[in-house]
Amino acid sequence: MAPFNQKMAPHDLKLINKLSEIALNIRKNSLIMTTKAGSGHPGGCLSCADILAAIYFHQLRYDPEKPDWEERDRFILSKGHAAPALYAALAMAGFFPTEELLKLRKIGSILQGHPDMRKTPGVDASTGTLGQGLSIGVGMALAFRLDNRPNRVYVLLGDGELDEGQVWEAAMSAAHYRIDNLTAIVDYNRQQLSGCIEKVMNLEPIGEKWSAFGWHVIKIDGHNMKQILDALDEAERVRGKPTVIIAYTVKGKGVPMLEKSFLSGDCKYHGTPLSEAELAKALEELHG
């Protein structure tokens, strides 16, 4: 199989519909996986599904038959608790059979509760301890530039993760070294384990913060596929500084029951899977 790269211009309706359908499948499989495992983080998987669909089925260069292909771009899921969504994307991309998804968190499975680059084909960095992914991405991107290689690096961060000081140390370093082959994406669903972001640790003005640290800032609706694609294209054109895409999202997106729960301030489904009955209802709502 040739290295994967389905970049198309302009972003026509056919492409957008295709990526939206992939995002729907990522959501569906994330819910099924976490319910069957009896463990996991469904809310944050749903909020980042559109971003993952755009990244893996339009943006990245990779070859699923050669996961260690040196010319591939790199993707780091810094919010590692959303691993089920990443695994769903990797399975659909051909890195491993979709049957493996139902083995999430099982003894001997290649799919751990958080991404493990030594066990799962297609995973470029082991993550889970929040705040470290951007630092890994900075190192990778800087190494590619020093080697004069065209590879790009993408890091998906959770908004609650931005409470970590290491994120801002990495942000400072990326700007200082003018690492323009690095794109960070913030899944800004404004909810974390212990409540609403604004009450736990207010991040606003989030755009101005990143800009003050020397980054090119793009704000988008993280569920609008055209805006996601346009932002990723814009990031590639930026020279002399890293780019951050602040994607405004809804935790539990696509499942009204979950959306309402999070918007009411109830973060139960941050780290609690759905029951079998709730899953059946959620799948109906997704296909609604």
* Whole-number percent of the chain with pLDDT over 90: 86
> Which one-letter amino acid corresponds to residue 192?
Q
Report strand pairing: 153-158 vs 182-188.
parallel
**Is the pLDDT higher at 191 or at 187?**
187
* Least trusted range by pLDDT, from 36-45, 202-211, 262-271: 262-271
Beta strands in the chain (DSSP E): 74-77, 153-158, 182-188, 191-192, 195-196, 216-221, 243-248
pLDDT of 101 higher than 70:
yes
The pTM (predicted TM-score) of the whole model is: 0.94
Helix (H, G, I), strand (E, B) or coil at 244: strand
Q: Residue 79 has what pLDDT?
A: 97
pLDDT tens-digit readout, 130-155: 999 999 999 999 999 999 999 999 99
Tokens 């909020």 belong to residue: 47
Q: Which among 81, 130, 101 is positioned nearest to 37, based on CA atoms?
A: 101
From its phi and psi, is residue 248 left (phi > 0), alpha (psi between -120 and 50) or beta? beta
Q: Residue 7 has what pLDDT?
A: 55
- Give yes or no for a contact between 84 and 104, defined as CB atoms under 8 angstroms apart: yes
Domain boundaries along the sequence of the chain: 13-287
- Give yes or no for a contact between 188 and 154, defined as CB atoms under 8 angstroms apart: no
Laid out side by side, the sheet with 243-248 consists of 74-77, 153-158, 182-188, 243-248, 216-221
Tokens 């470029």 belong to residue: 124
- Give yes or no for a contact between 175 and 96, defined as CB atoms under 8 angstroms apart: no
pLDDT band at 1; cut points 50, 70, 90:
very low
- Give yes or no for a contact between 19 and 26, defined as CB atoms under 8 angstroms apart: no
Q: Which among 121, 146, 127 is positioned nearest to 62, based on CA atoms?
A: 121
How many CB atoms sit inside 10 A of residue 93's CB?
16
Tell me the angle at which helices 13-37 and 225-237 cross, rounded to the nearest 10 degrees. Answer: 100
pLDDT of 236 higher than 70:
yes
pLDDT tens-digit readout, 26-80: 999 999 999 999 999 999 999 999 999 999 999 999 999 999 999 999 999 999 9
- The superfamily in CATH containing domain 13-287 is Thiamin diphosphate (ThDP)-binding fold, Pyr/PP domains (3.40.50.970)
Give the up-direction half-sphere exposure of residue 119: CA atoms within 13 A in the CB hemisphere: 17
